[in-house]
Amino acid sequence: MGRTHKIIAALQKCEQADLTSYFETHQRRMQYLEFREDSFPIGSGTVESGVKQFKQRLTGAGMRWKADNAQRMLVIRAAVLGNDFSDLWQTAAYLPPI
């Protein structure tokens, strides 16, 4: 499992129990070399970019949202960004009104 065991051993020597526990708990998520080899993204850039896309639509000047309406807008925005809006629109046409 990568090289996290080396970090854990060093932290144990320094008697850093909290940090040791953290690395032991999360070491399965820290296999960055293997993730890269399997072409998995290891950064948060994609998620951060997606959040910006949603935020841009929902936080314009003067905009105020009730929780239910914001939830509906998030579904619509996700459909637009995911190129699934026409499918969502078709599905919505058959739903009873709220």
Same domain, 80 and 56: yes
Which H helix or E strand runs over 71?
A: helix 67-81
Same domain, 28 and 11: yes
Domain that holds residue 32: 4-37
Q: What is the DSSP letter of 27?
A: G
Same domain, 33 and 63: no
Residue-wise pLDDT tens digits, 61-95: 888 888 888 888 888 888 888 888 888 887 777 76
Same domain, 27 and 63: no
Q: State the total domains in the chain.
A: 2
Which H helix or E strand runs over 75?
A: helix 67-81
Residue-wise pLDDT tens digits, 6-42: 999 999 999 988 889 999 999 888 888 888 899 888 8
The pTM is what?
0.44
User: Does residue 58 lie within any of the structural domains?
Assistant: yes
